[in-house]
């Protein structure tokens, strides 16, 4: 759960402007989504993985742990896409139609390239920096504040959940299906008043500090560099050119 | 069940984002109105959103012996109302993409449509309908949570089928394939989520009446 956030907070690229990293990631995704060649998808995937492992120094093991759930979905989805459902004789049966493997493999590679670009952003940029960017971009003060509050409360709520799960497991609370459901139900029912109580205490604390409806947070971010931005846009332009030539 | 980053074609990503935008905008306008009238609700909403995120991160035992994550749409819609749940789900899905790499930025619109709009509205409609028809609270909550979860999964399968129609069976054939692939885990999971939501609501009703009363401000004003 905390793997991606831990990397984002300690990454070598942590202090680079979130705007630059967002442009790089979404630009790479846009190129991957609009390209029609395997070569471009492979180039986006390779560039994102190289930046993450060699640039941001994310270990291959951690990269795999962050990517394994989406990769599993992509494999299951591509398998369904590659097969064909037949209802001959009244009974449904699966077949491998000729030529179905290539489009399924292309979608899988495109998705892997986009997942790598997403991880390039997520593993190097704390979510709070991206929320600041969204708020500046017109998310609105109310929604921005709610999103910030959610982010602050999530981690302490997760701590409560983890401790509760450990206590219940130690008391054999997860032996059998019925007991597991009851244990989880008890935990969730206990968690809601605790979470709301925390929000009330936060409200009291803020009110004591002159809260006027605006939440302020400290930021540690370098200013946007024209050179870095030029390099990012140049790299994206090169990938887009490759996509046009390949099409 | 999230559609992962890059899995849908660009036109579908744009289409689903456009389809979800009015619902999210309507929810955001209502939340803004409630927050301006009652500033303290902002903290309540932040805490509620964190609860929904944690709920969706919980591993739920399935009757098949495996385990997976609940959507939390049934419980959230029952507690906060469907329009507030849509906005909270949109933020939760964004967080899941950026903190867990589940879902994605390009597929955010499609995921909001299935998990933040269809799931909560189906759950809310069933909860209200069954309660009005005289069903007990437990029955109404069970069907709302289980079918809210199941509707999310059915919509996701149709989203995938629209993007990748079967060469022989068309969209219907592809929907059958995707429903079949994911049914193994999702149908037992929906039953488990329904049962879990009944347990949680019973306990909340018994021991946390004050908190439920505070949350009714959200559901009454924004449903």
- CATH number, residue B29: 1.10.1760.20
Q: Is residue B222 part of a domain?
A: no
Distance CA A75, CA A67 (A): 12
The pLDDT assigned to A106 comes to 94
The answer to whether residues A141 and A99 belong to one domain is: no
* Four-point Cα dihedral B34, B82, B114, B48, nearest 10: 60
Count of C-beta atoms within a 10 Å radius of residue B79? 23
Q: Is residue B115 part of a domain?
A: yes
Q: Is residue A169 part of a domain?
A: yes
**Mean pLDDT across chain A, nearest whole number?**
88
Model confidence at B47: pLDDT above 90? no
Q: What is the mean pLDDT of residues A109-119?
A: 96
Q: What is the mean pLDDT of residues B150-172?
A: 87
The pLDDT assigned to B98 comes to 93
| A29 reaches B (C-beta below 8 A) | yes
First-to-last C-alpha distance (Å) of chain B: 25
Q: What is the mean pLDDT of residues A73-93?
A: 76
B36 vs B145, residue with greater confidence: B145
Q: Are B54 and A154 in contact (CB under 8 A)?
A: yes
Distance CA B150, CA A30 (A): 31
Q: What is the mean pLDDT of residues B34-57?
A: 81
B220 vs A221, residue with greater confidence: A221
| A204 reaches B (C-beta below 8 A) | no
Give the nearest partner residue to B39 out of A73, A122, A213, using CB atoms. A213
* Residue range of the domain that includes B205: 10-214
CB contact under 8 A, B46 and A150: yes
The answer to whether residues A178 and A61 belong to one domain is: no
B182 vs A2, residue with greater confidence: A2
Count of structural domains, chain A? 2
Count of structural domains, chain B? 1
The answer to whether residues A18 and A65 belong to one domain is: yes
Burial pattern B141-166, b for ≥16 Cβ within 10 A else e, equals: bbbbbbbbbbbbbbbbbbbbbbbbbb
The pLDDT assigned to A99 comes to 79
The answer to whether residues A115 and A237 belong to one domain is: yes
Q: What is the mean pLDDT of residues B44-57?
A: 82
The pLDDT assigned to B223 comes to 47
Chain A residues within 8 A of B97 when measuring between CB atoms: 118, 122
In what helix (H) or strand (E) does residue B68 lie, and over which residues does it extend?
strand B67-68
Q: What is the mean pLDDT of residues A114-130?
A: 94
Q: Is residue A215 part of a domain?
A: no
The pLDDT assigned to B222 comes to 45
**pLDDT band (50, 70, 90) for residue B139:** very high
Q: Is residue B131 part of a domain?
A: yes
Task: Write the CB contacts of A246 (distance below 8 Å, at least 6 apart in sequence).
Answer: A35, A36, A37, A39, A40
* Residue range of the domain that includes A97: 2-125+223-246
Phi, psi of A123 (to 5 degrees): -80, -5
Q: What share of chain A in percent tops pLDDT 70?
A: 94
Chain A residues within 8 A of B145 when measuring between CB atoms: none
Q: Is residue A214 part of a domain?
A: no
Distance of CA A143 to the CA centre of its chain: 20
Give the nearest partner residue to A119 out of B2, B28, B101, using CB atoms. B101
The answer to whether residues A113 and A231 belong to one domain is: yes
CA distance B133 to chain A (A): 26
Dig out the tokens for B222 from the structure: 């924004």
Dig out the tokens for B9 from the structure: 């074609």
The Cα-based distances of A138 to A149, A215, A222, A235 in angstroms read 18, 16, 21, 28
């Amino acid at each position: 759960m905390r793997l991606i956030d831990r990397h984002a907070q300690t990454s070598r690229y942590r202090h680079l402007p979130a705007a630059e990293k967002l442009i790089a990631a979404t630009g790479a995704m846009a190129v991957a989504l609009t390209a029609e060649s395997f070569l471009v998808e492979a180039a986006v995937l390779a560039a994102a993985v190289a930046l993450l492992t060699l640039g941001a120094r994310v270990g291959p093991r951690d990269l795999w742990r962050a990517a394994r759930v989406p990769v599993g979905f992509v494999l299951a989805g591509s398998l369904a896409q590659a097969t064909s459902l037949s209802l001959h004789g009244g009974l449904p049966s699966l077949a491998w139609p000729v030529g179905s493997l290539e489009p399924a493999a292309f979608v899988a590679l495109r998705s892997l390239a986009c997942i790598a670009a997403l991880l390039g952003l997520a593993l190097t940029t704390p979510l709070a920096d991206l929320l600041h960017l969204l708020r500046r971009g017109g998310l609105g003060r109310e929604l921005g504040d709610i999103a910030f509050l959610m982010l602050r409360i999530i981690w302490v709520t997760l701590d409560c959940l983890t401790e509760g799960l450990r206590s219940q497991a130690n008391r054999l609370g997860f032996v059998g299906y019925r007991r597991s459901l009851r244990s989880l139900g008890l935990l969730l029912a206990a968690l809601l008043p605790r979470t709301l109580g925390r929000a009330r205490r936060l409200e009291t604390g803020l009110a004591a500090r002159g809260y006027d409806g605006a939440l302020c947070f400290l930021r540690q971010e370098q200013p946007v560099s024209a050179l870095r931005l030029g390099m990012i846009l140049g790299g994206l332009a090169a990938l887009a050119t490759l996509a046009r030539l390949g099409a | 069940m999230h559609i992962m980053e890059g899995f849908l074609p660009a036109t579908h990503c744009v289409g689903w984002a456009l389809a979800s935008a009015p619902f999210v905008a309507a929810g955001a306008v209502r939340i803004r109105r409630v927050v301006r009238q009652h500033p303290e609700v902002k903290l309540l909403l932040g805490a509620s959103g964190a609860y929904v995120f944690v709920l969706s991160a919980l591993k739920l035992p399935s009757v098949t012996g495996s385990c997976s994550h609940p959507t939390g749409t049934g419980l959230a819609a029952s507690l906060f109302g469907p329009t507030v749940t849509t906005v909270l789900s949109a933020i939760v899905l964004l967080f899941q993409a950026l903190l867990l790499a589940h879902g994605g930025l390009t597929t955010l619109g499609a995921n909001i449509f299935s998990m933040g709009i269809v799931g909560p509205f189906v759950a809310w409609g069933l909860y209200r309908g069954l309660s009005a028809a005289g069903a007990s609270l437990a029955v109404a909550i069970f069907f709302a949570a289980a079918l809210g979860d199941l509707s999310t999964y059915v919509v996701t399968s149709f989203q995938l089928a629209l993007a990748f129609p079967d060469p022989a069976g068309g969209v219907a054939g592809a929907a059958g394939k995707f429903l079949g692939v994911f049914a193994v885990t999702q149908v037992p999971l929906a039953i488990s989520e329904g049962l879990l939501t009944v347990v949680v609501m019973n306990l909340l009703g018994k021991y946390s009446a004050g908190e439920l009363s505070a949350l009714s401000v959200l559901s009454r004003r924004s449903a």
